[in-house]
Each structure stands twice: as C-alpha cells, then as structure tokens.
Amino acid sequence: MIGKQLYICDAEPVYLKRLASYLNRHSGFLWRIKTYTRLEDCVRERPETLLVSGKALAEYGEALNIPGCRILFLEDGNYLPGNIPSIKKYQSARKLYEELLEILGDEVERDTEIIAVYDPADGVAAERDAIEIAETKQERGETLLILMTEFPAVLFGERAGESLSEWFYYQRQRREGKKKLADFVYREGDIDYVRGFRAVYDMQETELADWRAFFTDELYKSRYGTVIFVFDRLPPYIELMLWCDAVYVRWGKDGYEERRRQAFEKMAGYMGVNELLEKMMTN
C-alpha cells in the first residue's frame, strides 16, 4: 500500500525536516516523503505529486511544467499561483496534516488497537504486563504480542528460529509467494506471539518505511483485535511508539524509577515528540 511518493520542496531545510518528521509520525499516512530545497533538483525526479512553497517557486525563476504531476501549493506569502490547491505553510502541524489529507484523500482505516508496553529496567516484567493486558482485551478478538525484548522469556517451540528478522528479509526480496506474518506466529493459550529481532544488526537494516508498511499492510489488515509491542529498550524509531494508541510504562522497581522517567521526558522534549507523553500510562 505504501507505494506513492509525495515530494515536498521548500527553501528552508529546517522546516522541511520538521514537516517530514511530523508526517512520518502518522502510520496511516500512505505516502513516502522526499524533500528538496532546490526545485530544479526536484523537477528532474519527475514527481507525480508535489507540494511546493512560494519561495521555492520564486527561486526557480521559470514556469513550472511537470507533465502528469499533481501540484499543491505551500502558501508562504512569496507567491500565489492561481487554480492550484493551497495549504498555509505557517500554521500548526496538525492543521496542515488535516488539510493535506483533505486534498490527497488517503489515510488508512483500521479497527485493530495497537499498544506498546515499555519497561527499560526489566524485559521479563514487561512481558508479564503485556500478557496481563492481553487477557483483558479478549472481548476485542484475538491478540498478538510482538516481543521486541532482547532476550524473550517466552519459549517459541517450533518457531524458535523465526522472527521479524526473517519476515522483513522476505518482504525486501519482493518475490512472488512472500511469507505471511502468520507463518511466524507461535500460539500459547489464547495469545499469539511473534519474536522481534534475533540480532541488533537485523533491526538496524529495517528502515522506517518498512515499519510503516508493516503497520498499514499487515497489522491494520490483520485478524487481530489487539496487537501489543513489548519493549525493554527504546525502539529503533520512536515512531513505533507514536503509532501506538497507548503506551504502558513501568519504570522499574530498583530505586531509579524517577530518574528514568525524567530522562525519558527530557528526551521526548529534545526530539519534539511531547505528544508521546500524552499516550503513556504508568503501570
């Protein structure tokens, strides 16, 4: 599903970076984003959908003609072309996102609830909490636990050698007959489990676009009423937590709980993801 590309061109690199980061925080946003500060470089890529600012157009210095390209205007007071859908540049990111969706008309619909359980002090405790939460979610349907802990306590039986490492590898091959997520599921009682990554190198090879496709093409379309990610460390991309409906947190029970909580809040502020704090619930 994640196959379309939205090209964004603006002369301000900091603005571009922040806008792209905000759009990437929405797992249901169905566009890969490419950014440019120079319109001539962007035009050479022959984009099919382009969001371009007035300043970038003014610096381009000639009529913009890209055959087959849908052009949207990022209104910044420098230039105002006629008969082109426009969005105000200087407004809240949320409002800009909503207006962009109105024009593009694409966002994933889903019924699956996605939760994260995070305990930076004790991965086994995080797994226990996740299982307890899963048992309370039975009325929503089947539940899947994705164990991103370094050393899972769950014994995967015949699935012990299979994990998301292999699943993402098969997806990247882009061959016919790609394996389904169900091929990696281990069932125990009323709960399904999938092991995360067998090695940190495999996790590092998985890009943000791969994760977004995993959410939109697999989890949102799955038979599960609830999917629970279990973390004992920060995920490779903070978006994995931002894309969750709720994040249950245990800061440990070793006397360092408050220090961990404060450090996390400072990190969230530094990364500009304070909205993540609103999703967090302490166990």
Tens digits of residue pLDDT in 78-132: 876 667 888 999 988 888 988 888 888 766 667 899 999 999 999 999 999 999 9
- Answer whether 251's CB lies under 8 Å from 263's CB: no
For the cut 70, the answer to whether the pLDDT of residue 3 exceeds it is no
Check: CB of residue 100 under 8 Å from CB of residue 87.
Answer: yes
Question: What would the pLDDT profile of 166-205 be if each residue is shown by its tens digit?
Answer: 888 888 876 555 677 888 888 888 899 999 888 888 888 8
pLDDT at 155 over 80: no
What mean pLDDT is predicted for residues 51-79? 88
- 210 CA to centre of own chain: 9
pLDDT for 197-252, tens place per residue?
A: 888 888 888 988 889 889 988 898 888 999 999 999 999 999 999 999 999 999 98
pLDDT of residue 106: 63
Provide the β-strand partners of residue 146: 194, 229
Question: Can you tell me the mean pLDDT for 134-154?
Answer: 90
Tokens encoding 218: 């697999």
CA distance 157 to 188: 10
Q: State both tokens at 34.
A: 């490419």
Q: What local confidence, expressed as pLDDT, does residue 240 receive?
A: 94
Q: Work out the angle between the directed axes of helices 93-104 and 13-24 (0-180°, nearest 10).
A: 70
Show the tokens assigned to 224: 């599960």
Per-residue pLDDT at 277: 93
Predicted local confidence at residue 8, as pLDDT: 96
| Between residues 92 and 8, the one the model is more confident about | 8
Cα–Cα nearest to 201, from 178, 169, 155: 169
Note the pLDDT of residue 148.
Answer: 94
Q: Is a pLDDT exceeding 60 seen at residue 57?
A: yes
Distance (Å, whole) CA 209 – CA 198: 20
Average pLDDT, integer, range 52-64: 87
Backbone torsions φ then ψ of 2, nearest 5 degrees: -85, 85
Give the Cα separation of 133 and 246 in Å (integer): 12
Strands (E) across 13-149 are located at 31-36, 49-53, 70-75, 86-88, 113-118, 143-147
Coil, helix or strand for 18?
helix
Sign of CA pseudo-dihedral 271, 10, 34, 107: positive
**pLDDT-based confidence at residue 158 (cuts at 50, 70, 90):** low
Name the band, by pLDDT with cuts 50, 70 and 90, for residue 161.
Answer: low
Of 16-20, 168-172, 228-232, 278-282, give the range with the top mean pLDDT: 228-232
Average pLDDT, rounded, for the chain: 87
> What pLDDT, on the 0 to 100 scale, is given for residue 16?
94
Give the per-residue pLDDT at 1.
44
